[in-house]
Structure 1
Amino acid sequence: MVCFRIDESGYTGFDLLNPEQRFQGATAIAINDDDAAALIRHHFPRLQAPELKYSSLSRRPSNHDRLLGLLRDMLAEYRSVTYVCDKRFLLTLMFLDYAAEPYYYERGVNFYENGRNFTLGSILFQAGPSLLGDGLFDQLIAAFQRAMKEKTPEALGDLVGAARRTNWRELPEALGPIANAAPECLATIATPGVTTDAAMVVLQGLIGRMEMMSDGPYRVEHDQSKNLETYHGLIQKLIAHDAKVEFRSSEIATLKFPLKLTGVVQVNSVASPAVQLADVLVGATLEMANTLAHLRKGGLDPERGTPLYREDQIIYLAPSMDVTEQRRFRAGSQGGEMIDYFSANFGTHT
């Protein structure tokens, strides 16, 4: 049976505004321990550490050529996918999901039709900082994140106040409902269990692609890190779900239950070269994303690294202002149905 090794990076729980961790990602690679060990020996024959750790190796520029060679061989020879999420943009989409969509739902409007939410989220994310007033967009999404976490009348009132202080009439489709304290939006934000934690969003994208890459049953192994404990529990819930249902998110993204995924196991990464390579793949991808966003310097050169990925090996959640292309790409999206289904069956956002 095929086994995908997975790893994550950039997970900060509910806090999607952590300035040190702009991106969150996860990788899945179908490679066995023998092949992984051979690749490590080939590219790092003098490695003295008990395991290959991307964060340690990337600090030394002298390792960059070897890391790029390892990345090239992994991407060329083994099935893999890496999901990268701009957490500030995801928080903006979540704002629309909870602080706007319930208002439209009550009035019979499909907020997700043909990716309408994604287009509006992209406009809000890109234009909001200038249209809404100096620093007011940042205050708004921070107030939203706090309200989603605390769920108190005070936090909800602060969110409404933050919306009203903006030039919200410049984007009334996005901010009008919460600026007018729409009760259906406030009730949704206050719902117990509803959170801004991005783990399920990232995991859903990763599993959706693993399902496409697998002809039959497969399993997953991952490290025993604290952050992956959250992923582990969510994967177990998804595996156990035996209802027959399918959702379409975009032209290339669908999720069908029951999953082909049959099991998930935690392992000690020191004893698993394959899990170590998952760490390298996700670490390299997020480091290059941070470099491209001008948030960090000194890591792998994205001009050399990004061409190594095939289009189907990367999923990148980021804003797009190409409205026509996004309408085509997301035609027939069942985003609303998927959110409702996951909330009802898994107690979480997708």
Structure 2
Amino acid sequence: MLRSINVRIGIWSAAARRPIMECFRIDESGYTGYDLLNADQRFQGASAIAISNEDAALLIKEHFPNLQATELKYRTLSRRPSNATKLLALQRDLLTAYKCVTYVCDKRFLLVLMFLDYAVEPYYYERGFNFYENGQNYALASLLFYAGPTILGKEEFDALLAAFQRAVKQKTLGSLMDLVSAARKTRWRELPEALGPLAQYAAPECLEAIATPGVDTDAALVVLQSLISRMEVMADGPYRVEHDQSKNLLSYHELLQRLIDHDEVAEFRQSEIASLKFPLQLKEVKQVDSKLSPAVQLADVMIGAAIEAANNLTGLRTGGLDPEALTSLYREGQFIHLLPSIDFEEQRRFRQGTQAAEVIDYFTNNVFGHRSGKGGGEVG
């Protein structure tokens, strides 16, 4: 009996000495798979926060002592104006006291970037030009985003993006020829640098890139790369990730596991604030029931509020939290976005010396095989 007690004490002592791996809880919003033109969900993003379930439960109880629901859901809480002050106070506490990051991207802008990655860049690559140098692809994408409808024709530009998205998904000869036809129906001669490879030449290298097995327009990898770039900086050492069991997060789970499994040594600079180094400090990813994880519920609150603010600031929707009040709570490094910008000089400075081309090639050849293709591998 005494020996049994001593053995148990020894086990407990060893467990007490073993460091507890830091855990970031993440949640997403706005995921629509390959469809980046979904009019009802313009923005996609995710939040990550390093907080224990115990601390999360205490914060929820402090700010919402009379909560009757089985879990905290931003969408439900934000419907009541009386909850606005509480939601802002909760997020102020999270952003002040805990490691966290939120990423939001404009999916239409991302689709334009992917169009340039697949339907334009291969043409220049074959001719020895670095299309990504100093972020010039972002400048061209921003120009297309804002001026494309006017320069190329609004209906024609919309049809081009829809045809591109469809061609990437279907990968049939018919869908590829439809894409070339859509490019030729635009006023492409007004911007031949962007549309010439398809409209003038039907460039085989571009069509081949689009038809590559595994290439898609899913934004999950872009979102994850951005979160990971910050989690890797914020983590004190090896860490793990927990996320909800929702269907949308299955794609995130698979991608996270692939990134964890990649153990080759590599490092890339992607922008002024973003870099990526392999192997990752991230060691484990786990799915959990959000009803049993107050920490995951707080990640839901953070990304839900951020997506709502993006919709309000762009005039797509009204109501909910004051977006200016929310954005003022974020400190440097806590919010990352992929949005169009016509401040081209700032874009150039921000992405000076970027290794975007190297990152894309590395992911294509070493991490995902053909999973990521020529595009979708950049952090905003």
TM-score norm. by structure 2 comes to 0.91
Classify the secondary structure of the residue corresponding to 2:283.
strand
* In the alignment, structure 1 residue 311 sits paired with structure 2 residue 327: no
Gaps of 5+ in 1: none
| Match in the other structure for 2:52 | 32
Contact 2:105 2:338 in 1 (8 A): yes
Residue in 1 that maps onto 2:79: 59
Whole-Å Cα distance in 2 between the matches of residues 37 and 126 of structure 1?
44
Residue 149 (structure 1) aligns with:
169
1:159 paired residue number: 179
Candidates 72, 76, 94, aligned match of 2:96: 76
4+ aligned runs moved over 6 Å, structure 1: none
Aligned residue for 1:145, secondary structure, equals helix
Q: For residue 321 of structure 1, report the CA deviation from its aligned partner.
A: 1.1
CA distance in 1, matches of 2:245, 2:153: 45
Q: Given residue 241 of structure 1, which amino acid in structure 2 is its aligned partner?
A: H
Task: For residues 290-346 of structure 1, give each alpha carbon's deviation from its aligned partner in whole angstroms, at most 9, with x where no partner exists.
Answer: 111111111111121110111311001001111111111101111111112212221
Structure 2: how far apart are the matches of 1:9 and 1:171?
34
Query: Match of 1:15, SS?
Result: coil
Q: 1:12 corresponds to which residue?
A: 32
Matched to 2:316, the amino acid is L
Question: 2:102 is aligned with what amino acid?
Answer: T
State the match for 2:351 in structure 1.
330
- Alpha-carbon separation, structure 2, partners of 1:144 and 1:224: 31
1:255-334 maps to which residues of 2 (within 5 A)? 255-334=276-355
Letter aligned with residue 72 of structure 1: R
Alignment partner, residue 9 of structure 2: none
Q: Is the 8 A contact 2:148 2:154 kept in 1?
A: no
Cα separation, 2, equivalents of 1:259 and 1:217 = 8
Secondary structure at the counterpart of residue 360 of structure 2: helix
After TM superposition, the structure 1 = structure 2 runs for residues 175-324 of structure 1, keeping only pairs within 5 Å, are 175-180=195-200, 181-324=202-345
SS class of match (1:316): strand
What SS does structure 1 have at the residue aligned with 2:48?
strand
Provide the TM-score with structure 1 as the length reference: 0.98
Distance 1:247 1:178 in 2: 30
Distance 1:16 1:22 in 2: 8
Q: Verify the 8 A CA contact 2:257 2:285 in the aligned structure 1.
A: yes
Structure 2: which 5+ residue stretches go unaligned?
Answer: 1-20
The answer to whether 1:343 aligns with 2:364 is: yes
Q: Is the 8 A contact 2:50 2:99 kept in 1?
A: yes
* SS of equivalent to 1:222: strand
**Greater gyration radius:** 2
d(CA) in 1 for partners of 2:350 and 2:305? 28
Q: Distance in 2 between matches of 1:314 and 1:73?
A: 16
After superposition, the C-alpha distances for 1:58-103 in whole angstroms (9 at most, x for unaligned) are 1111111111111111111111000101000000000000000000
For residue 215 of structure 1, report the CA deviation from its aligned partner: 2.6
RMSD: 0.9
Shift of 1:287: 0.7
